[in-house]
């Protein structure tokens, strides 16, 4: 992972000429270079880990696995939101963790957490480090030292049950590795978020991730049959059955807990056979409203495709322009069906009938192939845009089908209002990325001139968009989680009494308060 | 509701001759009369509600809605488990609540709970009173008085969103009334547990109910998009979106909370259009293992029927004998598809292909019609059996497909071991009632001679079965909940630390501890 950008530095891209031209044209502002400081210019503060804490951590995970060198520390200095990247690109690594701790297994995670609790050391659980909401920001809270607890050594496939079609995976596995281990059994997880290449199994669970094929495979939280978490107070093993009425579902407290209640060390997940067939098909709709109604008909019907996404008119145009193709008029949807050949074909027929009746036109598989080719590359483009003085960021939300049009308008207006300058308005695109019988998510991409203070510009835009989301009664995050960035809206989400419940649960599991301070639950005033 | 039996006294049945003969034949013991005491023989203790508490409750809900007459009190003296009925049939109504409180709406529920908390009065939230696990047993805990909080006046359809296909229903609605209100909008809930006629919307949510058509409509907890609960500390409004990553899902703490954390006053539920078509079909399998594998293939396939159940050989035989028909050899499965005519037909084709390939034989719709005709009548038969000195009770659990055969054997052995007498073994039947991709529920019915102390006999059998379930790693309840009867296995379910979490949540929401004492979470030793 790059320290100041998305992903593998070898895959970094310079700004394609098509994008440069488009940006100059649409934003009315030519890109102007805005490079990052170089790695060698960084000055990390010396590690502040007290000797006694270090000794205790070394006893927990072994001396070789308490790492204080700058190379590791800088790679754990926050996540991958645009504000994160802007901060590091400007050379600000003052918050770097004092050590990176690398436990080998569940027991060592527990021991490391107890050591941190005993010695008053804040601990940020760290998977792929792909958070775009400040979830892995190294905030010390009231503590004098902070470690990142990197789970990358927890990388085993623990068990496979081919009859029940479940697999138990350790938290530190990245998706491609997990899929490779499962493929040896003819199985797949089918979880494909944009962070696919870097994010980890544990991170997906801790943040309630959702993948691009969620229509068929489900949200990540819905795939979790069981989970194991280490806390400073001991172990939680939750989830005994595919369905149960034995009280409240405590798994659902750990799912989405973002490392504040415990560290998820392994999860038992629903897996599926590697699909025999995959049938890709793009559809055009005359406008977003017609396309939205078509997706709703699919989501509310008795059968459903594996993947379905709908870009609005602007995104349809921009995506085509980026790849040098001609845009279809209106809106493009990508649709796929996976499964046995017979099942995929039968459900595809039902889907096609629904979409045709709803005003869609079949376009064949080629636009889906294009989409598949570039579906993980958006974040690399963001880095190239930042280099060129262009701010590019995303945000997402979800609501019911009935509230969706109003939500889209309100968020678009909020972003446009906050980011319009003398040079003109920003580009705001939107797509429906995940569908449910009752509603869907909306995923917004914003491109604007960086201006003199891009972080402040984005902060005000994000604030306006978040307030618009809350005012619409929608959720502040469909699949990016809370981290630090969404704290202002958590009371709207669960109420003051709900926050009290979350604090009480934390007091039981993490009485010292060392677990990921400053995330998920706003601190008491 | 009858005070000492299931359901409407007008629907009570005497023991059919076919059952009488079957019981005599199979159990080797002729029925011998064991009648209940008569209603007029009951002596309820006088109401112990202190005057100050009464005044506060009257201020909360109106004087007319704090009822202390014996007729109401006796109807709230526990639920409908066999031990409950045995106790009341023996004339034991010593635990009768001191009053029945009937709030009109959410605000009055909250006010009543605050009054109870202020005056140290235990409160048992009461919906249909159909609990079969002691969930509405009037246990005073450390309090001197107890009221039943009957929600029957909360009987409104609050809102319908026909675009998102959601409906907001008040907690006290019984299913037939709820379905009637929804049918006026062309909608249905599709939730059909055996308690359909009496259980309430709030009770379903508070106990994580599951209906017979769960394969198509889902478990009740999975239908809940939002819920509102009153607690002594204020209101919880939870669930802002069909999908969210905004932290832990606190709805999942209230779902299954059985009135110990708050009182669910309304829920926003997924609803569906009334089905255009319903295609019923029964299937025969040579044995339970073959049938189980067939159901697993369906549950793990890309499409699924609306309803699917599989009886084992004994249940197949007994059900046929009870209705005077000839049993199919092997095991009978009932299957149904609902939806638009086109969807139902298409999915039925896929189902039929799967079941045929798995060794099933089509039997047409007639056995399903039989099953539908009698599907809510089992509890009435239990009463007739009790009258005749025959113990009949059910229990249920769930596990993964791989653990299912071992679980079935272990529970059958436990029940048989505990209930075999000189007269012979009990009859133990089993069916798969709910399926998931990863596993299924098992529903056991036990029929045995009552003996001199039927309550003690059942208690030892239940204990043996529960221990067998826990030893198999299965859940202690798939859809009946915890109540008092499953307390001994809650630590196996969520661990000691999980119990601490539940207690901490209760301390926030119900600091006085008045809400449904003695249920869900074992008391500290």
Residue range A96-105, pLDDT digits in tens: 999 999 999 9
Are A480 and B209 within 8 A, CB to CB? no
Query: How many Å from the N-terminal Cα to the C-terminal Cα in chain B?
Result: 37
A-chain CB neighbours of B164 within 8 Å are 400-403, 438-439
> Do residues A59 and A97 make contact, with C-beta atoms less than 8 angstroms apart?
no
A-chain CB neighbours of B300 within 8 Å are 165, 272
CATH of domain A48-153: 3.30.43.10
Residue to mutate among A130, A302, A507, with most B CBs inside 10 A, is A302
In this complex, is the C-beta atom of A206 within 8 Å of any C-beta atom belonging to chain B? no
> Do residues B430 and B314 make contact, with C-beta atoms less than 8 angstroms apart?
yes
Chain A residue closest to B207 (CA)? A245
Beta carbons within 8 Å of A425's beta carbon, 6+ residues apart: A416, A419
**DSSP label at residue B231:** E
Q: How confident is the model at residue A236 (pLDDT cuts 50, 70, 90)?
A: very high
Are B234 and A497 within 8 A, CB to CB? yes
Model ipTM value: 0.97
Distances (CA, A) of B311 to B327, B335, B397: 12, 12, 15
B-chain CB neighbours of A504 within 8 Å are 504-505, 507-508
In this complex, is the C-beta atom of B340 within 8 Å of any C-beta atom belonging to chain A? yes
Task: Confirm whether A376 is a catalytic residue.
Answer: no
Q: Bridge partners of A124?
A: A148
Residue to mutate among A163, A232, A246, with most B CBs inside 10 A, is A246
Q: In chain A, where are the structural domains located?
A: 48-153, 157-273, 277-374, 378-480
Are B250 and A482 within 8 A, CB to CB? no
Residue B351, both tokens? 């189902």
Rounded to two decimals, the pTM is: 0.97
CATH of domain B277-374: 3.30.70.3450
Q: What is the pLDDT of residue A32?
A: 82
Tell me which fold the domain A157-273 belongs to. 3.30.465
Residue range A265-297, pLDDT digits in tens: 999 999 999 999 999 999 999 999 999 999 999
Q: B48-153 and B378-480 share one CATH topology?
A: no
Q: What is the mean pLDDT of each run of 10 residues along chain B (525 residues)?
A: 93 85 80 90 97 98 98 97 96 98 98 98 98 98 97 98 98 98 98 97 98 96 98 97 97 98 98 97 98 98 95 95 86 97 95 98 95 91 93 97 98 97 91 97 95 94 98 98 98 98 98 98 86
In this complex, is the C-beta atom of A210 within 8 Å of any C-beta atom belonging to chain B? yes
Contact map slice: A 438-467 vs B, CB within 8 A: 438-441
Tell me which fold the domain A378-480 belongs to. GMP Synthetase; Chain A, domain 3 (3.30.300)
HSE of A232, CA atoms in CB hemisphere, 13 A: 27
Q: What is the pLDDT of residue A22?
A: 81
A-chain CB neighbours of B301 within 8 Å are 339-340, 343
Q: How many CB pairs under 8 A join A and B?
A: 315
From its phi and psi, is residue B518 left (phi > 0), alpha (psi between -120 and 50) or beta? left
Contact map slice: A 13-52 vs B, CB within 8 A: none
Whole-angstrom distance, CA of residue B217 vs CA of residue A87? 49
Q: What is the pLDDT of residue B20?
A: 84
In angstroms, the separation between the Cα of residue B34 and the nearest Cα of chain A is 33
Contact map slice: B 131-160 vs A, CB within 8 A: none
Are A400 and B161 within 8 A, CB to CB? yes
Q: How confident is the model at residue A302 (pLDDT cuts 50, 70, 90)?
A: confident
Average pLDDT on A438-462 reads 95
Judged by DSSP in three states, A169 sits in strand
Compute φ and ψ for B200, nearest 5 degrees. -115, 165
Residue B41, both tokens? 């023989």
Q: How confident is the model at residue A24 (pLDDT cuts 50, 70, 90)?
A: confident
Residue range A507-516, pLDDT digits in tens: 999 999 999 9
Edge to edge, the sheet with strand A234-238 lists A157-161, A166-170, A263-270, A224-231, A234-238
Q: What is the pLDDT of residue B296?
A: 98
Q: How confident is the model at residue A524 (pLDDT cuts 50, 70, 90)?
A: confident
Q: Bridge partners of B482?
A: none
Chain B residue closest to A258 (CA)? B247
Q: What torsion do the CA atoms of B115, B116, B121, B123 make, to the nearest 10 degrees?
A: 150
Are A252 and B252 within 8 A, CB to CB? yes
Q: Does position A309 have pLDDT exceeding 90, yes or no?
A: yes
Q: What is the pLDDT of residue A19?
A: 84
Q: Does position A127 have pLDDT exceeding 80, yes or no?
A: yes
Across the interface, of B257, B350, B441, the residue whose CB is closest to A243 is B441
Residue A511, both tokens? 């009485």
In this complex, is the C-beta atom of B168 within 8 Å of any C-beta atom belonging to chain A? no
Q: Which residue is listed with tokens 């007639």?
A: B366
Query: How many Å from the N-terminal Cα to the C-terminal Cα in chain A?
Result: 37
Sign of CA dihedral A296, A299, A304, A308: positive
Are A475 and B501 within 8 A, CB to CB? no
Across the interface, of A164, A349, A521, the residue whose CB is closest to B402 is A164
Q: How confident is the model at residue A13 (pLDDT cuts 50, 70, 90)?
A: confident
Residue range B381-428, pLDDT digits in tens: 999 999 999 999 999 999 999 999 999 999 999 999 999 988 889 999
Q: Does position A91 have pLDDT exceeding 90, yes or no?
A: yes
Residue range A177-204, pLDDT digits in tens: 999 999 999 999 999 999 999 999 999 9
In angstroms, the separation between the Cα of residue A90 and the nearest Cα of chain B is 30
Beta carbons within 8 Å of B365's beta carbon, 6+ residues apart: B279, B280, B281, B282
Q: What is the mean pLDDT of chain A?
A: 96
Contact map slice: A 404-433 vs B, CB within 8 A: none
In this complex, is the C-beta atom of A504 within 8 Å of any C-beta atom belonging to chain B? yes
Q: What is the pLDDT of residue B8?
A: 92
Are A438 and B225 within 8 A, CB to CB? yes
């Amino acid at each position: 992972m790059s320290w100041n950008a998305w992903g593998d530095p070898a895959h970094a891209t310079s700004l394609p000429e098509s994008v440069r031209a488009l940006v100059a044209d649409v934003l009315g502002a030519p890109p102007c270079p805005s490079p990052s400081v170089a790695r060698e210019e960084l000055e990390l503060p010396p590690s502040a880990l007290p000797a006694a804490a270090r000794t205790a951590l070394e006893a927990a995970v072994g001396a070789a696995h308490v790492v204080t060198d700058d190379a590791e520390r800088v790679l754990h200095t926050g996540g991958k939101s645009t504000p994160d990247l802007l901060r590091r690109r400007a050379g600000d690594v003052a918050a770097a963790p004092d050590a990176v701790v690398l436990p080998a297994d569940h027991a060592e995670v527990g021991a490391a957490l107890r050591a941190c609790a005993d010695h008053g050391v804040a601990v940020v659980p760290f998977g792929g480090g792909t958070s775009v909401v400040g979830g892995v920001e190294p905030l010390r809270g009231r503590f004098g030292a902070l470690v990142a607890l990197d789970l990358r050594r927890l990388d085993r496939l623990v068990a496979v049950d081919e009859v029940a079609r479940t697999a138990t995976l350790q938290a530190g596995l990245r998706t491609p590795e997990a899929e490779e281990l499962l493929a040896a059994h003819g199985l797949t997880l089918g979880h494909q978020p944009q962070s696919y290449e870097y994010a980890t199994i544990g991170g997906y669970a801790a943040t309630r991730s959702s993948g691009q094929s969620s229509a068929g495979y489900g949200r990540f939280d819905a795939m979790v049959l069981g989970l194991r978490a280490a806390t400073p107070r001991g172990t939680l093993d939750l989830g005994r059955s595919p369905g149960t009425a034995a009280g409240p579902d405590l798994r659902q407290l750990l799912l989405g807990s973002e490392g504040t209640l415990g560290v998820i060390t392994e999860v038992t997940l629903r897996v599926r056979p590697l699909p025999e067939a995959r049938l890709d098909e793009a559809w055009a709709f005359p406008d977003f409203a017609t396309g939205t109604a078509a997706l709703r008909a699919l989501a509310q019907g008795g059968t459903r495709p594996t993947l379905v996404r709908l870009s609005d008119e602007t995104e349809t145009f921009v995506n085509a322009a980026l790849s040098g193709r001609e845009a279809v008029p209106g809106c493009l949807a990508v649709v796929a069906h996976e499964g046995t050949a017979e099942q995929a074909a039968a459900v595809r027929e039902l889907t096609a009938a629904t979409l045709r009746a709803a005003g869609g036109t079949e376009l064949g598989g080629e636009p889906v192939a294009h989409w598949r080719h570039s579906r993980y590359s958006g974040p690399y483009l963001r880095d190239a845009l930042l280099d060129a003085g262009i701010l590019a960021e995303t945000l997402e939300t979800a609501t019911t089908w009935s509230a969706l049009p109003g939500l889209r308008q309100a968020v678009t207006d909020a972003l446009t209002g906050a980011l319009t300058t003398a040079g003109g308005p920003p580009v705001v695109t939107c797509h429906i990325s995940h569908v449910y019988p009752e509603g869907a998510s909306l995923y917004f991409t914003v491109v604007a001139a960086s201006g003199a203070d891009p972080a402040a510009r984005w902060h005000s835009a994000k604030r306006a968009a978040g307030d618009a989301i809350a005012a619409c009664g929608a959720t502040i995050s469909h699949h990016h989680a809370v981290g630090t960035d969404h704290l202002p809206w958590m009371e709207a989400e669960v109420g003051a009494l709900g926050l009290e419940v979350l604090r009480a649960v934390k007091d039981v599991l993490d009485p010292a308060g060392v677990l990921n301070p400053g995330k998920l639950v706003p601190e008491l005033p």
